[in-house]
Chains A and B, each alone.
Chain A
Amino acid sequence: MIARIQNRQEDDTGEASDAGFHQAFATALMDEDPAAFPAGLDERAARRFAIYRNNVHRGLQEALAAAYPVVKTLVGERFFYAVAADYMRSEPQRSPSLALYGRGFAAFLADNDAVARVPYIPDIARAERAWLEALHEADAPAMMVTDLAGQEDRLISLCFRVHPATRMVSSNFPIVSLWRANQADRKQARQVPIPDRAETALITRPHFQVQMTLLDGGAGNFASQLLAGASVGEAFEYALAQDADFDVTPVFARLLASGMFCGFTLGDQGF
């Protein structure tokens, strides 16, 4: 069935109908019916309207595919583009820049009944979103381990300023292992067994290159406290309370090397 979208403000002059024209054209572009077209087009023009429709849909859906490549791999292209079509109608893009398109896609996936059968998919989407945000975040020099020279006696009191491009995503599923196994450059590699465990992804951007670091439970506890502004001592006590075997030294070294911080303060000592 052919749907004709009426110009709301159509009149006889044609001139004054431009406002109604944009509305009718835009509505028909996003119509669920692939044969929809704005009123007034002849048969050939109505058929060619599909070219604009395809361009619009492809533009938005390819932007989503570029932002969520691992989700696309995991759910398959057909399912991904079907969900992407629903998503583009559900959460219209406001900015003419598609660099950060798809902000709410993880939550949208979490509400999808079919996705619920693969419960780690929304968390993979959260990790991919964090990666994209980290890529485009503001620049700042990352703090290096050597910046702590001379602070050895006060380490326990230190609090850190978080680099703008730092993100952390915790999941009950092995999101980092799944993410790594499904990178385009790993697809040809031998299948690596995915461990059955909770994982936390720390995403940072040292030297303008985004990287994802796997944090186990204790490291995730410690890092989350530092990200929230706790001092090294407070974060250590928190992690130790969760896991009596928590070994802070190697974890602290890894976090510092990740580039997740861009400065430090001497906490409640008031410096």
Chain B
Amino acid sequence: MTTGIAPDQDRISKNVIPAASLPAQAGVGFKADHIADVFENAEPVTWFEVHPENYMVSGGPRLQMLTQLRQNFPISLHGVGLSLGGGEPLDKNHLRSLRALVDRFEPAQVSEHIAWSGHDGKYLADLLPTPLTSAALAHLVDAIDEVQNAVGRRILIENPTSYLALPQNSMAETDFIIQAARQSGCGLLIDVNNIFISAHNLGFAANDYIDVLPADLIGEIHLAGHEQDADTRDDVLIDTHSRPVADPVWALYQRLITRVGAKPTLIEWDNDVPAWQVLAAEAAHANDILDQCRHWPENQSQRVAS
């Protein structure tokens, strides 16, 4: 005979009406260090994003904290471990773990990267470059299809940060990501900082990339800070998520949403994480730009038309 303690572990967010989608406002990447500020007054932040991999555990305080967060805000699950651009079948255990989190937390958005992060069953803990080839595109589309079936919903895929161009690349990255979305039925998560970094590192015009992205595919935008590589022999930018969003990235962001309309916009700051007020100020800046875009009449008509 066991004790009669009633289990109260099912008090998850089942009583919360799931948000149909993220608000077209600023969100931030959730950090445990900010929990007190977030629950006291999250203004102007209205939603949060987390990496599902960090919550793929049996129980404990981390999942409890996410439960509390979800009871107060819409959340987005932004994966780093599915390895959609990898050369081998998806990890079925990982897919099951993701599905379990989607069922439990009912996120407003689920997204992943156009990248690979493991090979031969070994996890490599980084977002590695996917070849821009028709074979890789076909593999990516199949992988997205498998994920969307496994989690029972449409996902978004994020454009990569590039440090080098693979010799076998045979397509423009914009063609590659747009075709991947069109063929699989998924949407795009456009990381404007990634575009800026890749344009700098590979030598293309970021504006050209921004200007061809179809408005109907974009479900979310990411903004983050970057740094110059410590190796000064080479003028290369690193996607560190350790700094405020750079001015030229804000300018690209404004250019994008002026054309495609207001979209849910995430500030990512994962290293040298600042005080909550600093992060909230970045979110406020994004909201200012989103508000400006809403008040331009020509954009209203353009958005209705698109």
- In the complex, which residue of chain A has the Cβ closest to the Cβ of B119? A26
Report yes or no: A137 in contact with B59, Cβ–Cβ below 8 A.
yes
CB atoms of B229 and A56 under 8 A apart: no
Q: How far is the CB of A134 from chain B (nearest CB, A)?
A: 8
Complex CA–CA separation, A45 to B125 (angstroms): 20
Q: A18-B136, A139-B60 are in contact. Are A98 and B2 (CB under 8 A)?
A: no
Contacts of A16 in B (CB 8 A): 135
Task: Tell me the nearest residue of chain B to A57, going by C-beta.
Answer: B125
CB of A75 within 8 Å of the partner chain: no
Contact present for B125 and A60 (CB under 8 Å):
yes
CB distance from B229 to the nearest CB of A (A): 7
What CA separation (Å) do A141 and B6 show in the bound complex? 8
Is there an interface contact between B83 and A96, defined as CB atoms closer than 8 Å? yes
Chain B residues, CB < 8 A from A95: 56, 91, 93-94, 123
- A266 near B1: Cβ-Cβ < 8 Å: yes
* Closest-CB distance, A184 to chain B (whole angstroms): 14
Would A263 and B94 count as touching, CB distance under 8 A?
no
A residues in contact with B232, CB < 8 Å:
none
Say whether B168 contacts A45, CB under 8 Å: no
Q: Contact at B2–A99, with CB atoms within 8 Å? A: no
The interface size of chain B toward A, counting residues with CB under 8 Å, comes to: 64
A17 in contact with B126 (CB, 8 Å): no
Give the contact stretch, choosing among B27-35, B159-167, B210-218.
B159-167
CA distance A60 to B8 in the complex (A): 36
Contact of B125 among A23, A49, A59, A135 (CB under 8 A): A59
B297 an interface residue at 8 Å Cβ cutoff? no
Q: For the complex, what is the distance from the CA of A137 to the CA of B165, rounded to whole Å?
A: 43
Residue-wise, chain B 223-242 has the 8 Å CB interface mask toward A (1 for contact) of 00000010101101010000
Q: Check B56 against A99 for contact (C-beta < 8 Å).
A: yes
Q: Does B192 contact A (CB under 8 A)?
A: no
Cβ-defined contact, A136 with B57, below 8 A: yes
Per-residue contact bits, chain B 45-67, to A (CB 8 Å; 1 contact, 0 not): 00000000111111111111000
Judge if B117 is at the interface, Cβ distance under 8 Å: yes
Give the interface residue-count category, chain A.
Answer: 35 or more
The answer to whether A135 and B60 have CB atoms under 8 Å apart is yes
Q: Say yes or no for A161: interface residue by CB 8 A criterion.
A: yes
What B residues does A50 contact at CB under 8 A? 231
Asked if B122 and A98 make an inter-chain contact with CB atoms under 8 angstroms apart, the answer reads no
Q: Within 8 Å CB of A29, what residues of B?
A: 124, 128
Taking the complex as formed, is A104 at the interface, i.e. its CB lies under 8 A from any CB of chain B?
Answer: no
CB distance B168 to A97 under 8 Å? Answer: no
Partner of B236, one of A48, A136, A263, A265: A48
Given the known inter-chain contacts A14-B168, A18-B139, A96-B81, please indicate yes or no for A263 contacting B59, CB distance below 8 A.
no
Q: Are A96 and B82 in contact (CB under 8 A)?
A: yes
Chain A residue nearest to B56 in the complex (CB) = A97
A120, B89: Cα distance in complex, Å: 42
> Of residues B2, B86, B91, B93, which shows the largest number of chain A Cβ atoms within 10 Å of its Cβ?
B2
- Give the residue of B62, B88, B125, B135 whose beta carbon is less than 8 angstroms from that of A98: B125
For A92, the chain B residues whose CB sits under 8 A away are: 121-123
**Contacts known (A25-B128, A48-B236, A208-B61); A96 close to B163, Cβ less than 8 A:** no
A82 to B1, CA, bound (A): 51
Nearest CB in chain A to that of B124: its residue: A56
> A18 touching B133 by the CB < 8 A rule?
yes
> Are A94 and B60 within 8 A (Cβ)?
no
Does A51 contact B167, Cβ atoms closer than 8 Å?
no
Q: Chain A residues with Cβ under 8 A from B102's Cβ?
A: none
Question: Is the pair A23, B123 in contact by a Cβ cutoff of 8 Å?
Answer: no
Q: Are A147 and B56 closer than 8 Å at their CB atoms? A: no
Tell me the chain B residues, 69-96 only, with Cβ under 8 Å from chain A: 80-83, 86-88, 91, 93-94
7 tightest Cβ-Cβ pairs between the two chains A and B: A96-B81, A59-B125, A22-B87, A136-B57, A139-B59, A45-B164, A26-B119
**A contact residues vs B (CB 8 Å cutoff):** 14-19, 21-23, 25-26, 29, 40-42, 44-45, 47-52, 55-56, 59-60, 63, 92-100, 134-141, 143, 147, 161, 164-165, 205, 208-209, 262-266, 271
Can you list 29 A-B pairs, Cβ within 8 angstroms, ordered by A? A18-B135, A19-B87, A21-B166, A25-B119, A26-B119, A29-B124, A29-B128, A47-B233, A48-B236, A92-B123, A95-B93, A96-B82, A97-B54, A97-B97, A98-B53, A99-B56, A99-B62, A137-B58, A137-B59, A138-B59, A139-B60, A139-B64, A141-B5, A161-B2, A165-B59, A208-B60, A262-B3, A263-B2, A266-B1
